[in-house]
Structure 1
Amino acid sequence: MQQPAASERPAVVVLCGSTTYWDELAEAAVYETAAGRIVLAPCCNMKVPHPLWSDSQQADRLKQVLGTLHLRKIDMADEVLVVNPGGYIGASTAGEIDYAHSIGKPVRYTEQP
């Protein structure tokens, strides 16, 4: 099977938003995928209990790792989609938006802030 040329690669979109809206993030991923885009998204919902973040020290370390990984996802993406039900944008998401703007990534929103 022949691989498509790099210019034929689908757009890559990274989802940003509060994991409080986990279901909305998942729904946005479905729509973006159906539109033919490659989706990068948060993969750990630390608001739901899990053995990987049950210990508070381990959770703090993981939050740092996940924050850095998400910035690298922004680096890899062609654009950012902010999932912001009711216009909500928390501090972490605001920082991700600022970072995306600083490196010239286009940012769009599910709802205008």
Structure 2
Amino acid sequence: MPERPEIVCLCGSMQFAEDMRLVSQSLTLAGIIVLMPTEIDIPITDEQKAVLGELHLRRIDLADRVEVVNRGEHYGESTLREIAHAEAAGKPVTFVGPAWGRQ
């Protein structure tokens, strides 16, 4: 394993949370540190939702690269914002999931 493991941030709709968990497991077993959105199973306020969104942008800042987990080619507003943030920061962005043959 390298001195400092690669750090990858997973992005995508939380409707694909199970897919994200599978990708996270695969990357972790390959020696990669994985950052991903936090699943919240209780009702939250709009303010809390905004805080979670900002926290995820900071995860992207910490990462070496971003992997977007999706089952197709439609991306919601939050995911598009995350992709734009990563690209603006010069982070490589790749897309993973059943449509891309890796999960």
Q: TM-score, normalised by structure 2?
A: 0.86
1:77 equivalent in alignment to 2:63: yes
Helix, strand or coil for the counterpart of 2:45? Answer: helix
Instruction: Please identify runs of 4+ aligned residues in structure 1 that moved more than 2 A.
Output: none
Structure 2 residues without counterparts, runs of 5 or longer: none
Which deviates the most, 7-16 or 70-79? Answer: 7-16
- Correspondence for 2:14 among 16, 19, 35: 19
Measure, in 1, the Cα distance between the counterparts of 2:90 and 2:9: 14
1:86 equivalent in alignment to 2:102: no
Q: 1:96 maps to what in 2?
A: 82
Q: 2:94 maps to what in 1?
A: 108
The structure richer in helix per residue is: 1
Structure 1 residues without counterparts, runs of 5 or longer: 1-6
CA deviation digits over 1:32-82, x for unaligned, max 9?
11111000001124xx4x2xx3xxxx5211101100000000000000000
Q: CA deviation at 1:11?
A: 0.2
Aligned residues: 98
CA deviation digits over 1:3-26, x for unaligned, max 9?
xxxx71100000000001111111
Q: TM-score, normalised by structure 1?
A: 0.79
Q: CA deviation at 1:30?
A: 0.6
Q: CA deviation at 1:88?
A: 3.0
Identity across aligned pairs (percent)?
A: 44
